[in-house]
Amino acid sequence: MSIKLGDTAPNFQADSSLGTIDFYEYLGNSWGILFSHPADFTPVCTTELGFTSKLKSDFEKKNTKVIALSVDGVEEHKKWIDDINETQNTEVKFPIIADKDRKVSEQYDFIHPNASATATVRSLLIIDPDKKVRLIITYPASTGRNFNEINRVLDSLQLVDSHKIATPVNWNDGDDVIIPPSISTEDAKNIFPKGVTEIKPYLRYTPQPNK
C-alpha cells in the first residue's frame, strides 16, 4: 500500500529489540517518529541511530516517541545496538522492529524494488497523536538523514497545531512565523498581540506566539 500525508498510520504488532510491540499502544497519546533503515551492521545506519539516541531527552520534551525498523531479526538488532552504543557513545533505548517477513515494511511502503528488492529504503514518518501521517521523507541508502531537519519539522508541526500560523523557509524555533492568508490583517492584529509586519497583503509575519 501507499501511505500519503493525512492518512491514518496503520497499526501493527511486531517483535522488536524491546519485546513485542503494538504500535498504537507504544505511541499512546504521543507524537511518533517511525523510520526504516536498510540493514543492521551498516555504517550510515549506525551513525543515524546513534544520533537519534542522543536526541532522546529533546524528543521527550516534545512528547515524541521514536521507533526504528529493518528486515533483520531481534538477535541481530540486539548485537548491533551494542555496536551503536560503543561507537557512537550513547545508549539506544528506543525499540527496533524486527520485520523479517516485511509485513510492516509493506504496510508502510518501505520496500522500493527499483532501489532494492530485499532491503527497506531510508524512509521516515512523523505521526501525530491522532495517528495521522504528517511528514514522509525518503533518502537514498547512501545518504544519512538530517535529524536536525526532522526535529525542525516536528517543532513546526507542533507549533502549527497549537497556533494559527505557518512557518517560512528555513524557519527554526524562535524565528518569526507567517500569518496564513485565511486570516485578515485586522483579525491578525487581535490574534497576534506581539505585532503584525505586512510585506504584502498575503505575506505577513508575527513573532512566534509561544516565545
Q: Which of 14, 33, 34, 45 is catalytic?
A: 45
22 in Cβ contact with 146 (< 8 Å): no
How far apart (Å, rounded) are the C-alpha atoms in residues 77 and 83?
10
Q: Is the dihedral of CA 98, 22, 63, 9 positive or negative?
A: positive
C-alpha closest to that of 58 among 181, 152, 146: 152
End-to-end CA distance of the chain: 41
What separation in angstroms does the CA of 124 have from each of 146, 162, 165, 179?
Answer: 11, 23, 25, 28
* Residue 131: all three cell numbers together: 495517528
Per DSSP (E only), the strands in 37-121 are 64-70, 96-98
Is residue 45 annotated as part of the catalytic site, yes or no?
yes
206 in Cβ contact with 191 (< 8 Å): no
Element (H, E) at 4: none
Q: DSSP secondary-structure letter at 172?
A: -
Catalytic positions, written as ranges = 45
